[in-house]
Amino acid sequence: MSPLLLFCILIAYFALLLGVAWATSKGANNDSFFIGNKSSNWMLVAFGMVGTTLSGVTFVSVPGAVGVDGFGYAQIVIGYVIGYIAVTYVLLPLYYRLQLTSIYHYLDVRLGRRAYQSGAGFFIISRLLGATARLYLVVNILQAIILDSLGVPFWLSTLVVLGMILLYTYQGGVKTIVWTDTLQTSCMLFGLFACVWILLGELNMSIPESLNQMQAQGLATIFTIDVDSPNFWLKQIVAGALITITMTGMDQEMMQKTISVKTLKDSQKNMLTLTAVLVVVLLSFVFLGGLLYLYAPTVGVTATGDKIFPAVVMGHLPAALQIIFLIALISALFPSADGAITALTSSTCIDLLGIKRRTDLTQAQAESLRRRVHLGFAFLFLLLVLGFKAADNPSMIGVILKLAAYTYGPLLGLFAFGMLTARTPNDRLVPLVTIGAPVLCAILEYNQAYLLGAYRLGLELLLINGILVFAGLYAISRRAPGVAGAGQLA
């Protein structure tokens, strides 16, 4: 299919997003931007969060990883379910009880100002790195299938995409994103199931027949029983639970949409609905990966990893499916990037710049400050995407999960310490603990062959990181009178 035609489809899709943004951002202010005026519909939030949770990495990397890991990603999905239940019944009641706009304000209330700022700081670092890695993956694919042939350089492609995102989030923030994410999730899921249906037809197989064939070729193995392997089943399940608790329940981007729902009950319904839909969708992506690896040899495709999905679709499947794939890919790109820029802006303004606490700012000045921060993050996104382009890792899902282990571990330790103990740390020393723990994890990982023998660290680095932070906070803390740990604020 002509790259020019595909480019026109991209522009038309963006025009649709702008139309939705224009319709939903009328009368928007800072409260609209940060928490959608606390009036978001829980069903829209739940459905839109599917797109935010999945992103372009899930769309491309999860199917691509089947060639190496089989259906092993299902181990992590089991952990996700456990994690979402914990977020629903432990963290959400806490956030609603304290009526938070930024979830990191809990750390201020419970542990102190530097703990609060440390938590917000690690969120900003983690979301910056994770969101730009996801953005890089999708822009890189768009570059390969459309923009290279039009002579557009990668840096300009990234700049234009970020400009598009800024245009439709600049005014409305969360109020707009709730609606645009719903549209984009619909397109993404339609693309997923269309690809599954077409590939089954091309292979002339039913679902049971394809699963039998995948099993015969070693593509359908779920559980890894080698204790020394990074993919050992227990490690993966525990890691999946912790990833969800930290990357959803302790992540301002995900929670600002969830707490934009008016009541706790509706917010919990949102989270449980999200969980059910995600299980079906993630397992469908794994199944799609198996189909791709069955089909690729029949048409001479030798690509693997992140490259197999676009190589099969754009080179060997009908033109209509190519259009569907492109729209689904774009739909996977925008929700992860637009929500990230909005959440990073919110956290920086509220947690680090204290926009809610400052009495010296008029409403107009506060909104002007928020817009400048928003633009600043767009520029940082550009720089980091170019950095990932220079690194050019073949499988971004592994990169993102590894980054999460280092950057969300301190958040896990901070929240766990606040909720499980009745102690208050020396606030001045908290940043040293939260920075020192990831450094120790890096030293451990680098020397694991010497220190651990045949055992290889995987996603349990997230837990180790959190435990180190918890232990460090305990060492610099004392029992605080009138604080009941898990009982009072949780």
Tell me the pLDDT tens digit for each residue of 242-271: 889 988 888 877 787 787 778 899 889 888
Q: What is the pLDDT of residue 35?
A: 46
Question: Is 405 within the bounds of a domain?
Answer: no
Question: Is 471 within the bounds of a domain?
Answer: no
Q: In the predicted model, what is the mean pLDDT of residues 322-326?
A: 83
Range of the domain at 199: 41-396
What is the CATH number for 248? 1.20.1730.10
Question: Is 401 within the bounds of a domain?
Answer: no
Q: What is the pLDDT of residue 175?
A: 56
Question: Is 228 within the bounds of a domain?
Answer: yes
Q: What is the pLDDT of residue 174?
A: 52
CA distance 55 to 67: 20
Cβ(20)–Cβ(240) below 8 Å: no
Confidence class of residue 162 from pLDDT cuts 50, 70 and 90?
confident
Average pLDDT, the chain: 82
Cβ(310)–Cβ(144) below 8 Å: yes
Highest mean pLDDT: which of 299-308, 361-370, 430-439? 430-439
Tell me the pLDDT tens digit for each residue of 332-381: 666 567 667 877 887 788 777 877 777 777 778 877 888 888 888 888 98
Q: In the predicted model, what is the mean pLDDT of residues 137-154?
A: 84
Question: Is 279 within the bounds of a domain?
Answer: yes
Residue 150: φ, ψ to 5°: -90, 0
Q: What is the pLDDT of residue 472?
A: 96
Q: Encoding tokens for residue 393?
A: 């890792």
Question: Is 488 within the bounds of a domain?
Answer: no
Whether 31 has a pLDDT exceeding 60, the answer reads no
How many angstroms from the chain centroid is the CA of residue 200?
Answer: 29
Reported residue count of the chain is 490
Q: What is the pLDDT of residue 486?
A: 45
Cβ(50)–Cβ(189) below 8 Å: yes
Cβ(239)–Cβ(76) below 8 Å: yes
Tell me the pLDDT tens digit for each residue of 48-105: 667 667 666 677 788 988 988 899 999 999 999 999 999 999 999 988 888 877 788 8
Burial 1-20 (b: 16+ CB within 10 A, else e): eeeeebbebbeebbeebeeb
| Greater model confidence, 325 or 34 | 325
Q: What is the pLDDT of residue 36?
A: 45
Write down the pTM of the prediction: 0.75
Question: Is 467 within the bounds of a domain?
Answer: no
Residue 71: φ, ψ to 5°: -90, 25
| DSSP state string for 337-390 | HHHHHHHHHHHIIIIIS-TTT-SS--HHHHHHHHHHHHHHHHHHHHHHHHHHHH
Q: What is the pLDDT of residue 284?
A: 93
Whether 45 has a pLDDT exceeding 90, the answer reads no
Tell me the pLDDT tens digit for each residue of 370-421: 888 888 888 898 999 898 888 776 666 667 777 888 988 999 999 999 999 9
Measure CA of the first residue to CA of the last residue in the chain; give whole Å.
56
Question: Is 221 within the bounds of a domain?
Answer: yes
Tell me the pLDDT tens digit for each residue of 171-203: 544 556 666 667 777 777 888 899 999 999 999
**Nearest to residue 162, comparing CAs of 392, 342, 338?**
338
How do 477-479 and 423-425 pair as beta strands?
Answer: antiparallel
The conformation of residue 102, written as its DSSP 8-state character, comes to S
Contacts 24+ apart (CB under 8 A), 13-19: 13/327, 13/330, 14/164, 16/183, 17/164, 17/168, 17/180, 17/183, 17/184, 17/334, 18/167, 18/168
Number of domains in the chain: 1
Whether 471 has a pLDDT exceeding 90, the answer reads yes
| Greater model confidence, 242 or 330 | 242
Which residue has 């224009």 as its token pair? 22
Centre a 10 Å sphere on the Cβ of residue 483 and count the other Cβ atoms it contains.
16
Name the helix (H) or strand (E) containing 424: strand 423-425
Percent of the chain with pLDDT over 70: 84
**70-74, 139-143, 310-314, range with the lowest pLDDT:** 139-143
**Nearest to residue 425, comparing CAs of 174, 108, 97, 172?**
108
